[in-house]
Amino acid sequence: MTGEGSLEAPTREIIKWQDPDFADEAKLDAEMRRVFDICHGCRRCFNLCDSFPRLFDLIDNSPKEDVEHLASEDFKPVVEACTLCDMCFMTKCPYVPPHPFMLDFPHLMLRHRFVEAKKGKTEFTQRQLAEMDRNGAMARFVSPIVNWASDQDNKPMRALMEKTAGIDAKAPLPKFHARTFVSAAKQEEGEINKSAPAFGKRKAALYATCFVNYNKPATGMDARAVLNHIGVETKVAYPGCCGMPFLEQAELSRVAQNAAKVSKELVKLIDEGYDIVALTASCGLMLKFEWALICPDNPDVKRVQDHVFDIDEYVVDIAKKDGLPPGLTGLPEGVTVHLACHARAQNMGPKAAEMLKMIPDTPVDVIERCSGHGGTFGVVKPTHDVAVKVGKPVFKAVNAKPRGHIVSDCPLAAVHIVAHTETPVREPEHPIQIMARAFGLKKD
């Protein structure tokens, strides 16, 4: 029997969302009480996010000071505060599978949201924000107007958005671009460096991801420039969103639909010899792990799972196996690297930091803590201030040692960090953009 403190890697159970028991309210309530009682006796996760302080305060302030006598309706604030960052499962909890207690706190919170969604108890604004492809496709054609309306300096419009849509006026919102990454890549052909050690050995299909495609095409263009420079043939692919925004809302049928649609197209590229390279951490996590837990019987999902890399992981892999071309120039102003929770949850090691430490004469500071943002969690009025509260240790670390660049594999986390720190950095970046700078591929 596996005991506490085992050195075995944590394993995850299939999410049986199509099983009637998964949505059975009585069985869900019993499981939540079982898990909460174990958490109450342990409390190792008290400082990870707001879910655990809320749970422990709920218990400590109850008349009997136990889980048994809590009202089920009081569980909702605990569920609300979970961002599905997975850090309790990956880094703290001693009772995750294969331990007999079989704790998976994030997926239990997901199950609760699934039951609430089945009853129609989901927030309208968050459901609409999750429609990334629809929103991006519409906003690109009127991007100047959308960006004007959502700008934090536009006080009247942001006040109106807060009142009518519940989007916190203090939260920075992503900008949209008329030219997506997919369209930009078609218009600007990349040139492969034939003298690079890896030339002719790798082909990469860059999975654009909804955020990079609609909100930050520069990240995609920089990623392609770096891969081309180190000798990798590239192709840009975007069959659709990975479904992470739907996962946050527990719309698991929508996740399964997106997984089936996207994996079907990506498998065609795998058959042509391409590796699949994800440009944001959350999407890499979906393709590597979450899809397979939600769609365990889909062979396309399995094929993708076996052929997908995070962009930082991919560059490090090439550097180790084939080597990089010369010409990396130091950035003496230094880089603060925030290791995104969904990058850490991929269990691949700190690849962003490992990649950037290849740049000579460049100070690299690493922060391994949740920024607090968590997708729509950091945007909507009920939880924006909680997102700021959770992120304070990160902000403090950034302010304590200001560097010239702040980067994260999670673009929303990077925006959140820059918005709440006092460093001179005003433009959040992805780690791959720092590599582009160091290679002289990015001039701005």
83-111 pLDDT tens trace: 999 999 988 899 999 999 999 999 999 99
Query: In the β-sheet with 233-237, what is the strand arrangement from edge to edge?
Result: 233-237, 203-207, 275-278, 308-310
Count of alpha carbons within 13 angstroms of residue 194, beta-carbon side: 0
The DSSP bridge pattern shows strands 335-338 and 364-367 to be parallel
Mean pLDDT of 24-30: 96
Which structural domain, as residue segments, surrounds residue 90?
20-118
Is 424 or 393 the better-scoring residue by pLDDT?
A: 393
The answer, yes or no, to whether residue 267 has pLDDT greater than 50, is: yes
Last residue of a domain, one of 102, 118, 134: 118
Ranges of H-type helices in 272-340: 281-285, 291-294, 299-305, 311-321
**Contact by Cβ (8 Å): 177, 214:** yes
Q: 174: closest CA among 402, 348, 410, 406? A: 410
**Residues ≥6 apart with Cβ < 8 Å to 318:** 198, 202, 230, 231, 232, 324
**Torsion angle of the four alpha carbons 174, 175, 176, 177, in this order, in degrees rounded to the nearest 10:** -140
Domain count, the chain: 2
434 inside domain: yes
Percentage of the residues of the chain whose pLDDT score is greater than 90: 87
- Pairwise CA distance, residues 215 & 174, whole Å: 6
- The label of the residue with tokens 């803590």 reads 369
pLDDT at 222: 97
Q: What is the pTM of this model?
A: 0.93
The answer, yes or no, to whether residue 42 has pLDDT greater than 60, is: yes
Last residue of a domain, one of 92, 118, 144: 118
- 233 has which bridge partners? 203
29 inside domain: yes
**Contact by Cβ (8 Å): 368, 339:** yes
Last residue of a domain, one of 65, 90, 118: 118
431 inside domain: yes
3-state secondary structure of 245: helix
278 inside domain: no
pLDDT at 23: 95
**Is the dihedral angle over the CA atoms 45, 50, 55, 58 positive or is it negative?**
positive
353 inside domain: yes
90 inside domain: yes
**Contact by Cβ (8 Å): 265, 239:** yes
DSSP type of residue 274:
P
The DSSP H or E segment spanning 227 is helix 217-229
**Contact by Cβ (8 Å): 41, 93:** no
- Pairwise CA distance, residues 410 & 433, whole Å: 13
12 inside domain: no
Of 276-285, 304-313, 415-424, the range with the lowest mean pLDDT is: 415-424
**Contact by Cβ (8 Å): 229, 261:** no
The first and second tokens of residue 419, run together, are: 């918005």
User: What CATH number corresponds to the domain at position 372?
Assistant: 3.40.50
Residues 89, 344, 94: CA angle, nearest 5 degrees: 25
pLDDT at 231: 97
Q: 79: closest CA among 46, 116, 39, 34? A: 116
Q: 394: closest CA among 421, 422, 374, 376? A: 421
The first and second tokens of residue 437, run together, are: 């700078």
The answer, yes or no, to whether residue 423 has pLDDT greater than 90, is: no
Q: Find out whether the peptide bond into 98 is cis, omega within 30 degrees of 0.
A: yes
- Pairwise CA distance, residues 377 & 387, whole Å: 7
pLDDT at 1: 43
The answer, yes or no, to whether residue 307 has pLDDT greater than 70, is: yes
Percentage of the residues of the chain whose pLDDT score is greater than 70: 98
Q: Find out whether the peptide bond into 332 is cis, omega within 30 degrees of 0.
A: no
394 inside domain: yes
Other residues' Cβ atoms within 10 Å of the Cβ of residue 372: 29
Q: 234: closest CA among 264, 266, 276? A: 276
173-187 pLDDT tens trace: 999 999 999 999 999
pLDDT at 120: 83
